[in-house]
Amino acid sequence: MKTATEYLWFETKKRRDLVNITEKVQAFVAKAGIAEGMVLVSAMHITAGVFVNDHEPGLWEDIWQWLEHLAPEKPDYKHHRTGEDNGDAHLKSLLIHHEVIVPITKGNLDLGTWQQIFYAEFDGQRRKRVILKVMGE
């Protein structure tokens, strides 16, 4: 079995953003030479996440509204007592989760017809990373 690791770095211009990383993950899988296996895609920060869904702007708006409804940006989180102002970003990260595992078949990400891989930033404008870890043959 072969393994490989790579890091993707992000510094979003906005505090909250979604970045489609599907092509970057596929390029990494190809570079690693894995034909059959799986790839882990994991945000290495507690105010970011990774998820698989459709690349459709209306859905993105729905996702942002849903997250804001469940974890609104507001000043009274207890976490803010530490001097931070990103309590909602931590909660949004929990809702989205920080990682996905995607199967690889015949050298390609084995995603459904509309599925794409996204990096979700909830407290951006600073440098963050995602780890890609592939295993297989």
pLDDT (tens digit per residue) in 44-75: 999 999 999 999 999 999 999 999 999 999 99
Look at residue 73 in the predicted model and tell me its pLDDT. 96
**Whether 7 contacts 132, CB under 8 Å:** yes
Domain count, the chain: 1
pLDDT digits (tens, 9 = 90+) for 4-49: 999 999 999 999 999 999 999 999 999 999 999 999 999 999 999 9
pLDDT tens digits, 91-133? 999 999 999 999 999 999 999 999 999 999 999 999 999 999 9
- pLDDT attached to residue 1: 95
CATH no. for residue 112? 2.60.120.460
pTM for this prediction = 0.95
How crowded is residue 32: how many other Cβ atoms within 10 Å of its Cβ? 22
- Region 77-93: mean pLDDT is 97
Can you read off the two tokens belonging to residue 85? 């102002």
Query: What's CA 67's distance to the chain center, in Å?
Result: 15
Domain range for 118: 2-136
Phi-psi map region of 136: left, alpha, beta (phi>0 left; psi -120 to 50 alpha): left
